[in-house]
C-alpha cells in the first residue's frame, strides 16, 4: 500500500468519525437556537479544509514529478549531445586513438545510468561498429558511412527516449550495460 493510499484511508476514517460526532451533536442540539447551524458551519468548514488539503497535496505531488521529469530530460539531453559531439570529433579526425576509447568508455558509463533500454540496445550495436572500426585505428570512408548510419539509428532511439515516457519493461539492463562495457574493452 503506497503512502497516498494510507493518507486517504486515515482521512476517510477521520472524516467518518468526525461526521458521526457532528451528527450526534446536531441531534442533541435541536432545542438550542442556532446550535444546529453552528454545527453545520463547523461540518462545512471541515469538509472545505479536507478538500483543499487533498487538492494541494495532489498539486504538490504533480509539481514535484514534473520537476523531476524536467531535470531528467536536461541530464539526458546534455549527455546525449555530449556523446554525439564526441562521435562527430572521432569521425571528423578519421582516426580512433586509445584516449578516444577511454573517453568513450566513460561516456558509456554515463549513458548506462540514464538511457532507456531501447537506447542501450542501439548503443550496444553502435559500440560494436566502433570496436570493429577501432581495430586498425583509422576510419575509412566506408567505416565512416557505417558509423554515421549506426549513429542515425542511435539518434532515432535517443529522440524517442527524450520525447516518450518509458513504460515499465522487463529488460535485463545490467546485461546490456555489461555488453556495452565489454564492447569497448
What's the whole-number mean pLDDT along residues 26-52?
78
Q: Are residues 56 and 74 in the same domain?
A: no
Q: Are residues 55 and 89 in the same domain?
A: no
Residue 138, beta-bridge partner list: 95
Percent of the chain with pLDDT over 90: 11
Residue written as cell 542515425?
A: 152
Percent of the chain with pLDDT over 70: 88
Confidence category of residue 50, pLDDT binned at 50, 70, 90: confident
Q: What is the CA radius of gyration of the chain?
A: 29
Confidence category of residue 65, pLDDT binned at 50, 70, 90: very high
pLDDT higher than threshold 70 for residue 179 = no
Residue at which a domain ends, from 48, 65, 82: 65
Q: Are residues 84 and 167 in the same domain?
A: yes
Q: Are residues 53 and 75 in the same domain?
A: no
List all residues 6 or more positions away from 101 whose beta carbon is below 8 Å from its beta carbon. Answer: 134, 184
pLDDT higher than threshold 80 for residue 181 = no
At 52, list the grid cell.
483543499
70/46: higher pLDDT: 70
Q: Are residues 28 and 61 in the same domain?
A: yes
SS3 content of the chain, % helix, strand, coil (to 5): 85, 0, 15
pLDDT higher than threshold 80 for residue 105 = yes
Q: Are residues 60 and 90 in the same domain?
A: no
What's the whole-number mean pLDDT along residues 94-121?
87
Helices and strands (H and E) in the chain: how many: 6, 0
Residue at which a domain ends, from 28, 47, 65: 65
Q: Are residues 74 and 38 in the same domain?
A: no
Q: Are residues 90 and 41 in the same domain?
A: no
User: Which residue range forms the structural domain that includes residue 13?
Assistant: 3-65
User: For the CA atoms of 173, 176, 177, 181, what is the dihedral angle to 10 degrees?
Assistant: 170
Q: Are residues 110 and 174 in the same domain?
A: yes
* Pairwise CA distance, residues 26 & 35, whole Å: 8
* Pairwise CA distance, residues 182 & 53, whole Å: 52
pLDDT higher than threshold 60 for residue 26 = yes
Amino acid at each position: 500500500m503506497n503512502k497516498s493510499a494510507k493518507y486517504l484511508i486515515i482521512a476517510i476514517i477521520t472524516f467518518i468519525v468526525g461526521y458521526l460526532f457532528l451528527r450526534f451533536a446536531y441531534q442533541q442540539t435541536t432545542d438550542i437556537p442556532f446550535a444546529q447551524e453552528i454545527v453545520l458551519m463547523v461540518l462545512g468548514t471541515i469538509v472545505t479544509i479536507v478538500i483543499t488539503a487533498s487538492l494541494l497535496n495532489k498539486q504538490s505531488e504533480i509539481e514535484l514529478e514534473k520537476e523531476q521529469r524536467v531535470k531528467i530530460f536536461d541530464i539526458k539531453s546534455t549527455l546525449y549531445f555530449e556523446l554525439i559531439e564526441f562521435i562527430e570529433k572521432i569521425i571528423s579526425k578519421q582516426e580512433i586513438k586509445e584516449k578516444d576509447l577511454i573517453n568513450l568508455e566513460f561516456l558509456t558509463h554515463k549513458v548506462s545510468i540514464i538511457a532507456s533500454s531501447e537506447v542501450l540496445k542501439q548503443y550496444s550495436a553502435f559500440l560494436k561498429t566502433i570496436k570493429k572500426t577501432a581495430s586498425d585505428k583509422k576510419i575509412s570512408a566506408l567505416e565512416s558511412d557505417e558509423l554515421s548510419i549506426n549513429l542515425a539509428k542511435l539518434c532515432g532511439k535517443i529522440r524517442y527516449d527524450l520525447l516518450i515516457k518509458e513504460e515499465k519493461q522487463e529488460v535485463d539492463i545490467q546485461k546490456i550495460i555489461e555488453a556495452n562495457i565489454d564492447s569497448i574493452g
